[in-house]
Amino acid sequence: MILNDLFKLTLKDVKSGGIRSLLVLLSVAVGAASLIAFVAQAEGMRYNVETQFRGLSANVIIGMSPIPSLTYQDVIVLKSFRHVVDVRAALFADVKIPAKGKYLDFKLVGMDAKTFYTIFPSAVPKYGSIELNAPDLASIGFQVYKETKIGLNSLLPIKFGRKIFYVRVSAVLAPLGVSPLAVGFEPDKAVFVNINDVKSFLNVRKMNLVYIIVDSPKNVDKVYQEVSNYLKGKKFQVFAPLSVIKVYMSAVSFAERFLLAMSMMAFVASGFSIANTMMITVIERTKEIGVMKAVGFTSRQIMMYYLLLAISYGLIGGIIGSVIGYGLANIVSRYMTVIGAGIEQYVTKYFNMKIPSAKVTHTLVLEALLFSVATAAISGLYPAYKASRLDPVKALKSE
């Protein structure tokens, strides 16, 4: 009962504090808002990269070349490498598809159904059914569908140089949202057909895209070196998405720590503000504290009252700051590059995306509230202790 009364009394004091209470609440709100607004930038980048790579396993190494030079014998050799459990080869080319009176650029990708589902395990058709083992049928990426307006069972004309061939659309894929860096091309802007159809159309027998499946992500680096050495003479560019993710996520983690440290400076400032306000309050209420002790309040209850008063500042200020930070996060991401122009160019070039919008998570809001309350509690600890140790006789005699 006493705890409930003390809490009601602290809220009453916060309301009656006037401009002083307002300034303290704003100082706490600035800390919470800056934590959410800035750290949300790194959270947004982390979420975006994880989303871009959600369709690819972490144990894949990709090799690609503008010139088809990979034979089935090469595939057999690659399968013999230690830690390699499977090798899936494909063939791709830049092609044009007519739409709205002009030709649009897309990727033509030839692979069988097993390769397709190995690389895109979460792929599902939005319309129709995926038939990559059947000849003369195509499954088109969602962006191809949007830009060409081609429908199911329609004949799709594909132009390569001066040659044109036709395939029938059997499926429109649901958006995959996978980065080109993850698979070697942008799947939402690709036309998938049986690999033999592409070989026949391009008049080639070799392949220029290969996926090496490693038994474990921890062995990717070892296999990567061997694969790179083997494919170097075939003009293949080899990369491991897992390695790139590690580098990028390391940069995001650094940014997150840096921005968190910056936010902590705002909390330190708010802590001093709370401590200063609480000390002034204790000094101004010295006589009142003496009266409270005279009517039966214990030192522990006095200390609890002032601690609750400080925590109330932290909790209310944290809630205000969380609301402000939520609205401020996207504004910050719009007008500010968090990790610098170099990272922004890297993201735009390799991940085919701009610096993403901020992501305010429930965890981030909870952290802001906890930091606000903890800062207030720590800052109010000494003033509360000071108030609890006042001698009631001297306190009542004070002016």
Give 77-98 pLDDT, tens digit per residue: 999 999 999 999 999 999 999 9
Helix axes 220-231, 241-284, angle to 10 degrees: 140
Residue predicted with more confidence, 138 or 364: 138
* Rounded Cα gap, residues 393 and 132, in angstroms: 91
Indicate whether 1 pLDDT > 60: no
pLDDT at 232: 85
Residue 37 lies in a domain: yes
Question: Considering Cα of 251, then 257, then 258, then 259, what sign does the dihedral take?
Answer: positive
- Tell me if 228 is assigned to some domain: no
The least confident of 88-97, 183-192, 390-399 is 390-399
**Residue 139: exposure state from Cβ atoms within 10 A (0-12, 13-18, ≥19):** buried
| More reliable by pLDDT, 292 or 346 | 292
Tell me whether residue 234 is in a domain: no
User: Do the domain assignments include residue 221?
Assistant: no
Residues 166 and 71 both lie in one domain = yes
Classify residue 321: in a domain, yes or no. Answer: yes
Give mean pLDDT, residues 168-182: 85
Tell me the per-residue pLDDT of 203-243, one tens digit each, with 9 for 90 and over: 999 999 999 999 888 888 889 999 999 998 888 988 887 76
Distances (CA, A) of 92 to 110, 190, 318, 390: 6, 9, 54, 82
Angle between helices 241-284 and 286-294 (to 10 degrees): 80
Minimum mean pLDDT among 15-24, 58-67, 101-110: which range?
Answer: 15-24
3-state secondary structure (DSSP) of residue 156: strand
- The fraction of the chain above a pLDDT of 90, given in percent, is 34
pLDDT at site 200: 93
Indicate if the pLDDT at residue 156 is higher than 60. yes
Q: 17 or 29: whose pLDDT is higher?
A: 29
Residue 86 has what pLDDT? 93
Helix (H) or strand (E) holding 394: helix 392-397
Give this prediction's pTM: 0.58
Taking every pair of C-alpha atoms in the chain, what is the biggest distance, in angstroms? 103
- Nearest CA among 224, 178, 288 for reference residue 62: 224
Per-residue confidence (pLDDT) for residue 16, from 0 to 100: 67
Same domain, 198 and 267: no
Q: At what angle do helices 18-52 and 299-335 cross, to 10 degrees?
A: 50
Q: What is the mean pLDDT of residues 181-205?
A: 90
Query: 215, 236, 265 — which closes off a domain?
Result: 215
Q: Please check the confidence at residue 244 and state whether its pLDDT lies above 70.
A: no
For residues 199 and 342, membership in a common domain is answered with no
Q: Find tokens 């003496």 and name the residue.
A: 290
Domain stop point among 215, 235, 258:
215
| Shared domain check, 126 and 33 | no
Instruction: State whether 46 and 86 are in the same domain.
Output: no
Q: Given this model, what pLDDT does residue 265 score? A: 83
Q: Give yes or no: residues 14 and 98 share one domain.
A: no
Q: What is the predicted pLDDT for the residue at 346?
A: 47
Q: Can you state the angle between helices 241-284 and 299-335, rounded to 10 degrees?
A: 140
Choice between 347 and 136, residue whose per-residue pLDDT is larger: 136
The residues with which 212 forms a beta bridge, in sequence order, are 61, 87
Shared domain check, 175 and 268: no
Query: What is the model's pLDDT at position 390?
Result: 74
Tokens 């968090």 map to which residue? 338
Which region holds residue 153: left if phi is over 0, alpha if psi is between -120 and 50, else beta? left
Q: Are 317 and 26 in contact (CB under 8 A)?
A: yes
Q: pLDDT at residue 17 above 70?
A: no
pLDDT band at 49 (very low <50, low <70, confident <90, very high): low
CA distances 90 to 97, 113, 225, Å, are: 21, 11, 21
- How many domains in the chain? 2
Q: Which helix (H) or strand (E) holds 293?
A: helix 286-294
Residues 285, 270: Cα–Cα separation, whole Å: 22
In this predicted structure, what is the pLDDT of residue 130? 95
| 163-176 average pLDDT score | 93
Q: What phi and psi values does residue 99 have, to the nearest 5 degrees?
A: -160, 130
User: pLDDT band at residue 4, thresholds of 50, 70 and 90?
Assistant: low
Least confident of 20-34, 114-128, 351-365: 351-365
Most confident range (mean pLDDT) of 7-21, 343-357, 362-376 is: 362-376
Residues 70 and 39 in one domain: no
pLDDT (mean) for 106-135: 92
Give the structural domain span for 12.
Answer: 2-53+246-397
Residue 81 shares a structural domain with residue 38: no
Q: Tell me which of 157 and 216 has the higher pLDDT.
A: 157
Same domain, 252 and 332: yes
Query: Are 191 and 104 part of one and the same domain?
Result: yes
Q: Is the same domain home to 169 and 294?
A: no
> Measuring CA to CA, which residue among 338, 377, 381 is closest to residue 42?
338
Tell me the H-state helices in 295-355. Answer: 299-335, 341-350
Mean of pLDDT over the chain: 82
What pLDDT sits at residue 343? 46
